[in-house]
Amino acid sequence: QEARQIPQRLLFYKPYMSKGIADRILLEQDLHKALENHEFHLVYQPQVNLKTGSIESVEALVRWHHPMRGFVSPELFIPIAEESGLIIPLGEWILETACKQAKIWEQEGLPPFKVAVNLSLGQLFQQDLVEMVEAILVRTKLQPEFLQLEITESMTMNIDQMTQLLHELKALGIQIAVDDFGTGYSSLSYLKDFPIDCLKIDRTFVRNVPLNPNDEALVSMIISMAKHLRLKVVAEGIEEVEQLAFLSDGGCDYIQGYLFSKPISPKEISETFSDLHDHVRVILTRLRHTDDFTI
């Protein structure tokens, strides 16, 4: 098996290929071995409920430690995994690992919080997706209300099929969030039909808030639309107190970003959970000049 892979790599490389393409082919080959070689792990980033000041969920984010290259960004390898079909076994591994971890935190006695797991487009087209999610919930014994799946809007999705799929997923008792909201091109009309719980405002919109009036207008509009549709709103990529202040005033429900915490290891979540919580409350208390988290 191993011996067959090396000449195949050489065969793939043609001098006319740009370095980028050749590199991508090599990366794809390595990706195929990465799962069995245990080169992936997950990190988790807290999402804070602004009203209560508590960490209500954590988003699982995959990391690939390549033996030669070191850290490879998911922005780079997830699309390759999608195109090569590897996203199916990788996606299953991610979901199972995150659910297992959520159960471990529960058993460790941490306060209850959800785990949010990204689904990529290829997984949405996976025939047995619903069965797979259900089987993982059964295997890991995680209660479904503690799992949130993040899906992205996409041009390629058929609204009827997607609505059907989301209804089947919701029937398992899990939560569904639309990730990177506003960056896709699909029609807004799906929002009223989709059985979703939450919208995540993409980082590109909050990046220039509160400086850029156009971005401010967009963010405010997304929040107000979400309220009308009775959806929760998460803003991601919050790094500055000024951004937090704008979103908090605007009625955003949840915040995720470096301001509160970078994505961290499961061990760090376990060991620093109460410190993290204190850190969040200090920031929110300063912001509001009150430590009453029920208002």
| Unique residue bearing structure tokens 């107190």 | 241
Is residue 34 a contact residue for ligand C2E (CB under 6 A)? Answer: no
Minimum Å distance from CB 121 to Mg ion? 13
Peptide bond into 210 cis (omega under 30): yes
Is residue 263 a contact residue for ligand C2E (CB under 6 A)? Answer: yes
Is residue 70 a contact residue for ligand C2E (CB under 6 A)? Answer: no
43 phi, psi to nearest 5 deg: -120, 165
* Among the residue ranges 10-18, 73-81, 101-109, 182-190, the one whose residues contact ligand C2E (CB under 6 A): 73-81
55, 58, 72, 78: which one contacts ligand C2E (CB under 6 A)?
78
Is residue 75 a contact residue for ligand C2E (CB under 6 A)? Answer: yes
Footprint of Mg ion on residues 105-124 (CB under 5 A)?
118
C-alpha distance from residue 89 to each of 43, 101, 127 (Å): 19, 18, 13
243 alpha carbon, distance to own chain's centre: 20
The sign of the torsion formed by the CA atoms of 25, 77, 266, 177 equals negative
End-to-end Cα, the chain, rounded Å? 62
57, 166, 176, 237: which one contacts ligand C2E (CB under 6 A)?
237
DSSP reduced 3-state for 92: helix
Minimum Å distance from CB 74 to ligand C2E? 4
Instruction: Write out the two tokens for 275.
Output: 């410190």
Minimum Å distance from CB 207 to ligand C2E? 8
Is residue 236 a contact residue for ligand C2E (CB under 6 A)? Answer: yes
CB-nearer residue toward Mg ion: 154 or 285: 154
* Among the residue ranges 14-22, 107-115, 210-218, 255-263, the one whose residues contact ligand C2E (CB under 6 A): 255-263
Is residue 180 a contact residue for Mg ion (CB under 5 A)? Answer: yes
Is residue 245 a contact residue for ligand C2E (CB under 6 A)? Answer: no
Closest CA to 54 of 249, 255, 247: 255
CB-nearer residue toward ligand C2E: 61 or 245: 61
How far apart (Å, rounded) are the C-alpha atoms in residues 207 and 209? 6
CB-nearer residue toward Mg ion: 94 or 269: 94
Is residue 179 a contact residue for Mg ion (CB under 5 A)? Answer: yes
Binding partner at 237 among ligand C2E, Mg ion, none, C-beta below 5 to 8 Å by kind: ligand C2E
Closest CA to 129 of 83, 158, 101, 88: 88
How far apart (Å, rounded) are the C-alpha atoms in residues 30 and 7? 14
Beta strand 114-118 pairing with 70-72:
unpaired
Binding site for ligand C2E (CB under 6 A): 45, 60-62, 73-75, 78, 94, 118-120, 150, 179-180, 203, 236-239, 256-258, 263
